[in-house]
Amino acid sequence: MSKQPVLKLVNIKRSYRNSGKALVILDRANFTLNRGETVALVAPSGTGKSTLLHIAGLLERPNSGDVELQGRSCAQLNDDRRTAVRRSDIGFVYQFHHLLPEFTALENVMLPQMIAGLGRDEARVRAKKLLDYMRVGHRAKHRPSELSGGEQQRVAIARAVANAPLVLLADEPTGNLDPATSGYVFEALTALVRQSGLAALIATHNYALAKQMDRRITLKNGKIVELA
């Protein structure tokens, strides 16, 4: 099957001012993420992993270069359009689940769908299916504080894909979990990517998990470099 590019970073440059000097994080960085593949971003802390994910997810603007989603130029969209694209096309999973504590697992997965305009009944049906797929459907009526760390993260993944995004960006999604739970959550995440045709870029320090992904990349001198 031919590769279908979903996300492209084109000649991305990003620097910050630090004590009057320019600190270069990304320097003409290029990257392509294809439909249905998982790519591990493996790099030491402080090299720009979070900056790369924020730019790819339209949370931060590059100094120059472009972010393309299915061929659409997105880097210079205004704030309203960037928010709309993030809501419809990009899902995020972080190291900490960031679930809303006052809502149940089911309601947490329903909310982004309802914000996007889906009716409550349809949102509930889809949310229940996603929770069942992530094997936490039996915990649908529980609040985050009543869930284990692995359950919380699986609910967070279900929420991230609730609006059927094109791209899933994950920043150390298993970083707070023990090895056994980490492997279980990662297995559920990759199965979801395969089943849905999502494209996933996952930052991780876990080399064992990284080796299970389709490709591995790192950051070196501001460039995105493919690893064997």
The alpha helices in 116-218, defined as continuous H runs, are 120-133, 149-160, 179-196, 207-210
Burial class (CB in 10 A: 0-12, 13-18, 19+), 207: exposed
Determine the Cα–Cα distance for residues 11 and 124; give it in Å rounded to an integer.
41
Q: Which residues of 95-113 are buried (b: 16+ CB within 10 A; e: fewer)?
A: bebebeeeebbbbbbbbbb
Residue 87 DSSP symbol = H
Q: What tens-digit pLDDT sequence spans the chain (228 residues)?
A: 457 899 999 999 999 887 778 888 999 999 999 998 999 999 877 788 889 999 999 999 999 999 999 989 998 899 999 988 988 899 888 877 789 999 999 999 999 999 888 899 999 999 999 999 888 999 999 999 999 988 998 899 899 888 889 999 988 877 777 777 787 778 877 888 888 888 999 998 888 888 889 999 999 988 999 997
Helix 149-160 to helix 120-133 angle (10° resolution) is 130
Predicted TM-score (pTM) of the model is 0.86
The total of structural domains in the chain comes to 1
Number of C-beta neighbours around residue 16 at 10 A: 11
Q: At 155, which amino acid appears? A: V
> Residue 216's domain spans which residues?
5-226
What's the CATH number where 157 sits? Answer: 3.40.50.300
